[in-house]
Structure 1
Amino acid sequence: MAALAIAVYQFLPDLGWWRTGWQVGIGWAGVAALLVGAHRLPRPERLPWWLFAAGVFSNSTGIAVGDAAEAWFGLVDLPTPADPFFLGLYPACAAALAVLIRRRDRRPDGAALVDAATITTGFGLLAWVYVISPVGLGDPMDRLAHATQVAYPIGDLLLIAMTTRLLRSGGSRGAPFWWITGSLGAFLVGDSAWVVLDNMGGTGEALLAEPWFSSGLESVFLVAFTLFGVACLHGGAREVAAPADARPAGLGKGLLALLAGASLIAPAVLAAQTAGGQVTDGWSIAACSAVLFLLVVTRMALLLRHVERQARQVRELARCDELTGLPNRRAWNDELPRALERARRNNEPVAIAILDLDHFKRYNDTYGHPAGDQLLKAASAAWHAALRDIDVIARFGGEEFVVLLPAAGAGDGHRALTRALEATPLGQTFSAGLAVWDGAETSDELLARADTALYAAKAAGRNRVEVAGQSSRLAA
């Protein structure tokens, strides 16, 4: 229906209040759709849609107010009675976007803020050079008229900043999200077209005098009114404000291109003015370039910090067993030689043990692999709690674990492992081989003696701790 109404608008005669009523009617229909769609949502989730409705109502009502002010009172010079209504769109939509962003991203996102600031700064220079600055250069308008004209590009910059930040947020990116983005984009396209036409002088006035052209331009705003309502009536409207399960992607190709384009606006404006023979906004271009440079450096620093954090997480994951959270075999192979060197330097004993859950394959076959995984997690947690604070337990592979017992001889090591054996959950047991370092053997030789003791424990009936005999060096 909305598409049909917009299509019919292209053929309406410019007689009486037909065109004005049609535009306002489509705008108010969008407001009605927003209110109906919001009513279907839980009360705490209605606020952003109410704010969008307020913005659309204000802007579309401004069409009727402006036409009435011109027809009845001849008010066409800024500010007109319609301007407060037109301008009401910007703070209302910005507030709605702020609510959505806050709900989608529970944590601050510095990179997203920098991206939004970069894009807004680039377009801000265009607004200053071609819209805001010319107004004050010998223009006879009074201050209120000046402020009114400047308020429109400032409002557009506010929407650019908030829309960019919304695009950089986490959360759902279903159809309603893109309908909202499309509506905001349509408003920005329409406003930008008016600015371009105004700067074209007589050519712009001639284009606006063409019914087909003016109808097409006005339809851009009608599309914007409609898309908000479509988004709110969509079944997935509730997901728009849902918290993000994951952070948004980093620098994709589209975002990178947009950031690059925004960063090149300052040199492009400088080049255009230089080609015209007069640089009239040198200080503005210099200030914008400095701000963009600092924003790019900040973005690079944030990106580097993100890469470093990911690298640190990868290193930690590479040394951690995913199931039990204990150090894995790689971490153990790194730690054992260091522990032996410390023991040599401090002239103190050190022992290691290899633990193997008894009949684990039978447990897996009886209760299933998920239950087996739960047993491994519960057993490793119980053993860790039973051992001393200075002891280190790691998963060696499968149902096999290794324990490092610093400053422990055979007696201390046996007592620590006995406590762990008694703490084994779900009525299960383990067999363990304990070996005390002789002060000269390598890590592999020490592990081999502990492994031999483990097999002795299994052969002796399991559910026990066997202490390895003396190393071949001591025996000799």
Structure 2
Amino acid sequence: MSEQRVRAGRTATIFAAMAALAIAAYQFLPDEMWWRTAWQVGVGWAGVAALLIGAHRLPRPERLPWWLFAAGVFSNSTGIAVADIAEAWYGLVDMPTPADPFFLGLYPTCAAALAILIRRRDARSDWAALVDAATITTGFGLLAWVYVIAPVNLGDSMDRLAHATQVAYPIGDLLLIPMTTRLLRAGGSRGAPFWWITGSLTAFLLGDSAWVVLDDMGDTGEALLEVPRFTTGLESVFLVGFVLFGVACLHQGAREMTAPADARPAGLGKGLLALLAGASLIAPAVLAAQTATGEVADGWSIAACSAVLFLLVVTRMALLIRHVERQADRVRELARSDELTGLPNRRAWNDELPRALERARRNSEPVAVAILDLDHFKRYNDTYGHPAGDQLLKAASAAWHAALRDVDVIARFGGEEFVVLLPAAGAGDARRAMTRALAATPLGQTFSDGPAVWDGVEDLRRVARTGRRGALRGEGGRS
């Protein structure tokens, strides 16, 4: 491990410890607004500083997503000070306040940062991931509509700008939910910075959801907000979100966040499956809750959401079935292919030989088979090593395949032994094919060959069962 990576790891650990102490100390601050305001803003700006310092250590092309995270955290944490100043000095508490643009600035900047990370980590289209994100967003979108957006009454004292501001918060959360889901479904490194970012986004979503629930609880929610320790704990959730971004950026694995994916992640883990199941059950749960109260006020919304979720689930099932079918085809292909040369293996040869002989019998055509055995292969292996021997087998098989006709089939029978099927070929055709193969053999190597032509009499089942030249008539030789 390089000295720079060690310093980065030490810096991230120190920052995380100091941030944890600051958040813990916040629980015991005096019940004075300016103390709490300064502390929250200070923690938020510390997260911004950590993001900027960590981004500065990265190569320039990798800095943009971290700068965007820093902009979002700075905007949101600064909004705390703006809100308190607007309330204390100017009595501005009704929406929209001067602080709302600062609070809302978190959502588009973080969404843009996530989009860049996802694009750089996994540029390939992943329809399954998109369907998963759409399913989760649709389910939680119904909650936002029923309990936040729809209850906004355009006929009350709030003007349209105030309505737009109130609705913008759940829309911002709905923007982050699919982006976070898509990040979790994307390929790429899943080291500590990945989970710190995920934890930070989760903290913001949980904090916003808690505020929505408290607002819907009416007087009970207001009473809970009057409890100092309860409010302090809720505000600490956002403080955790501020600092986790910084910890992720300072971590030594931050540069791996934008590295391209080497392989696809697993299709459906237990956590993702549980989240999808929960999102799909939101619509019936909302319907049951409204039915219990004796009034279904959002029947059309619930019906529309249920229809969309049903179609998304069906689409996801179709994609999963297609994926399984492709995997099964791949497994069958691998089972019939030689891993080293890519040629058909003995199993594929034993399947193809009886079919070729049957076609030859029906069409009254000759069919020839040849066995190729590289000369002195063991000595070559012992002299140059097994990797060189593998390269010889690959090069020879590719050269022989190119020298044969398109209708001919060459398979690796085992070790340095290969078999060739020559449809509609007589003894002369087989000999000429072997001559072309010998001329194409790389590295000045030679092979022993055994071409033969089927006599049209031997039992096909025996030929298929043995796969030996005993069912063929011809003479072998050395080329």
- TM-score if structure 2 supplies the norm length? 0.93
Establish whether residue 377 from structure 1 lines up as the match of residue 377 from structure 2. no
Aligned partner of 2:83 in structure 1 is 66
Match of 2:255, as an amino acid? R
Establish whether residue 347 from structure 1 lines up as the match of residue 364 from structure 2. yes
Establish whether residue 332 from structure 1 lines up as the match of residue 349 from structure 2. yes
Match of 2:203, as an amino acid? A
Deviations along 1:218-277, whole A, 9 cap, x unmatched?
111111100000000000001111111000101111111111111001001100110111
Secondary structure of the equivalent of 2:304?
helix
Contact 1:421 1:429 in 2 (8 A): yes
Match of 2:100, as an amino acid? D
CA distance in 2, matches of 1:92, 1:195: 22
Contact 2:451 2:474 in 1 (8 A): yes
Among candidates 112, 123, 130, match of residue 147 of structure 2: 130
CA distance in 1, matches of 2:407, 2:148: 70
Instruction: Give the C-alpha shift of residue 143 in structure 1.
Output: 0.8
Instruction: Give the C-alpha shift of residue 451 in structure 1.
Output: 8.2
Establish whether residue 317 from structure 1 lines up as the match of residue 338 from structure 2. no
Aligned partner of 1:471 in structure 2 is none
- What percentage of residue pairs aligned between the two structures are identical? 85
Secondary structure of the equivalent of 1:426?
helix
Contact 1:352 1:450 in 2 (8 A): no
Aligned partner of 1:213 in structure 2 is 230
What are the residue-to-residue correspondences of 1:243-392 with 2, within 5 Å?
Answer: 243-392=260-409
Among candidates 400, 419, 427, match of residue 410 of structure 1: 427
- TM-score if structure 1 supplies the norm length? 0.93
Secondary structure of the equivalent of 1:291?
helix
Contact 2:154 2:160 in 1 (8 A): no
Contact 2:453 2:473 in 1 (8 A): no
Contact 1:198 1:204 in 2 (8 A): yes
Match of 1:246, as an amino acid? A
CA distance in 2, matches of 1:15, 1:320: 74
Contact 1:324 1:377 in 2 (8 A): yes
CA distance in 2, matches of 1:361, 1:298: 54
What are the residue-to-residue correspondences of 1:196-235 with 2, within 5 Å?
Answer: 196-235=213-252
What are the residue-to-residue correspondences of 1:161-176 with 2, within 5 Å?
Answer: 161-176=178-193
Aligned partner of 2:469 in structure 1 is 448
Among candidates 169, 187, 198, match of residue 181 of structure 1: 198
Instruction: Give the C-alpha shift of residue 22 in structure 1.
Output: 1.1
Contact 1:119 1:161 in 2 (8 A): yes
Instruction: Give the C-alpha shift of residue 156 in structure 1.
Output: 0.8
Instruction: Give the C-alpha shift of residue 94 in structure 1.
Output: 0.5
Establish whether residue 49 from structure 1 lines up as the match of residue 70 from structure 2. no
Instruction: Give the C-alpha shift of residue 88 in structure 1.
Output: 0.5
CA distance in 2, matches of 1:239, 1:451: 60
Structure 1 residues 406 and 37, CA gap change in structure 2 (3 angstroms): same
Contact 2:22 2:43 in 1 (8 A): yes
Task: Please say which of residues 405-414 and 292-301 is displaced more in the overlay.
Answer: 405-414
Among candidates 8, 13, 27, match of residue 44 of structure 2: 27
Count of equivalent residues: 458
Deviations along 1:305-331, whole A, 9 cap, x unmatched?
101111111111111111111111111
Aligned partner of 1:420 in structure 2 is 437
CA distance in 1, matches of 2:55, 2:86: 33
Secondary structure of the equivalent of 1:353?
strand
Task: Please say which of residues 132-141 and 407-416 is displaced more in the overlay.
Answer: 132-141
Match of 1:301, as an amino acid? A
CA distance in 2, matches of 1:424, 1:58: 69
Establish whether residue 434 from structure 1 lines up as the match of residue 455 from structure 2. no
Deviations along 1:130-163, whole A, 9 cap, x unmatched?
1111112753311111111011011111111111
CA distance in 2, matches of 1:231, 1:374: 44
Secondary structure of the equivalent of 1:134?
coil
Contact 2:79 2:100 in 1 (8 A): yes
Contact 1:90 1:156 in 2 (8 A): yes
Secondary structure of the equivalent of 1:141?
coil
Q: CA RMSD in A?
A: 1.6
Match of 2:468, as an amino acid? L
CA distance in 2, matches of 1:142, 1:353: 88
Unaligned runs of 5+ in 2: 1-17
Aligned partner of 2:122 in structure 1 is 105
Deviations along 1:271-308, whole A, 9 cap, x unmatched?
01101111001001000000000000000010011011
Structure 1 residues 311 and 251, CA gap change in structure 2 (3 angstroms): same
Aligned partner of 2:22 in structure 1 is 5
Secondary structure of the equivalent of 1:351?
strand
Aligned partner of 1:472 in structure 2 is none
Deviations along 1:326-356, whole A, 9 cap, x unmatched?
1111111121122122222322221111111
Instruction: Give the C-alpha shift of residue 15 in structure 1.
Output: 2.9
Higher relative contact order (CA 8 A, sep 6+): 2
Instruction: Give the C-alpha shift of residue 423 in structure 1.
Output: 2.1
Contact 2:453 2:474 in 1 (8 A): no
Task: Please say which of residues 343-352 and 78-87 is displaced more in the overlay.
Answer: 343-352
Match of 2:94, as an amino acid? D
Contact 1:433 1:452 in 2 (8 A): no
Secondary structure of the equivalent of 2:444?
coil
Secondary structure of the equivalent of 1:135?
coil
Task: Please say which of residues 15-24 and 49-58 is displaced more in the overlay.
Answer: 15-24
Establish whether residue 118 from structure 1 lines up as the match of residue 139 from structure 2. no
Establish whether residue 82 from structure 1 lines up as the match of residue 99 from structure 2. yes
Match of 2:163, as an amino acid? H
